[in-house]
Amino acid sequence: MSEVAILGAGAWGIALAIQAARAGRRVELWARDPVRAAELRSRREGLRLPGCRLPDPVAVLDVLPARADIVLLAVPVQFIRTVLTRLPPAAGTLVACCKGMEAGTLRFPLEVVAECQPRAAAAVLSGPNFAHEIARGLPAAAVVAASDATLREQVSAALSTPSFRLYGSADPLGAQIGGAAKNVIAIAAGVVSGAQLGENARAALVTRGLAELARLAQALGARAETVMGLSCLGDLLLTCTGERSRNFSLGAALGRGERLAEILAGRTTVAEGVATAPALLARAAGTDLPICRAVAQLLASELTVEGAVAALLGRPRRDE
């Protein structure tokens, strides 16, 4: 039995495997595709993280591990249910390391966990973390969110190193809201960049995006203070400021006039904000979410970039 199992061998899963090994844990990394698993066993390096080698003690599997002390769910949200239904009931403490909402059910990751693995202890790992920087051991911080303080400490102790500082949070819902909503705001920030609307416009959009995130958190029952933490404000700042962000880069391509279908067809990674934008609107119906609404309409080809800008700037004047 491993101490830490990571389910999902994309860039984030590999980075987490490297971090867990760096923290001195026995690690198993599961890849859904047996061909990819064999390649990782041979190369010890992921194609999306060149130069970041898997430590030799990390075992790469093509079958799901039966049991681990901590199981990190590093698959995209839209695939988390499939993986959870294949896990045995006592697989270990489950930690959702994905961000977004399940299309159709409108559930956050821990809600899917509770439905598929109702007896499992569960937590969220979230924050402003690019996989390539975590893999390289650059300084970073994140949040482990769970209602149980002992559980938070268990996960934090298993993954913490001097370069990766983990804070606890008793608001897992707030952490999940931040992780989901920031992807939608990042698409909008990317559109501003790709359309060359200027840095003033992007700063204004990110600031108003934070206000929108706060309204969303309040509407869904999260704690107000969580919005100003790493899992919300911190993640928002990181995701809205560069092409390394999958959601920002997708928005930038939209802003340059590229079609969504063509953008997605040319990618092997998942931009969770695409599915999350309409899901957030449905989950928080009645909440004032103009940026999320504009992004959802843009993705659905119901608005042009110019129309989205006009809709946001044409809203009635009011106090901040």
pLDDT score recorded for residue 66: 85
Q: Which of 152, 182, 246, 293 is catalytic?
A: 182
The sign of the torsion formed by the CA atoms of 318, 219, 178, 30 equals negative
CB 33 within 8 A of CB 56: no
pLDDT tens track for 265-314:
998 888 999 999 999 999 999 999 999 999 999 999 999 999 998 888 88
pLDDT tens track for 19-36:
999 999 999 999 999 999
pLDDT score recorded for residue 46: 84
Q: Please, what are the averages of pLDDT over each run of 10 residues along the chain (320 residues)?
A: 89 97 97 93 88 93 93 96 93 95 96 96 97 97 98 97 98 97 96 95 95 96 96 96 88 96 90 94 95 96 92 85
pLDDT score recorded for residue 143: 98
Which domains are present in the chain? 2-170 (3.40.50.720), 184-313 (1.10.1040.10)
99: annotated active-site residue: no
pLDDT score recorded for residue 210: 96
Q: Categorise residue 224: left if φ over 0, alpha if ψ from -120 to 50, beta otherwise.
A: alpha
Return the closest-CA partner of residue 123 out of 72, 87, 65. 72
pLDDT score recorded for residue 311: 87
* Phi, psi at 147, each rounded to 5°: -75, -20
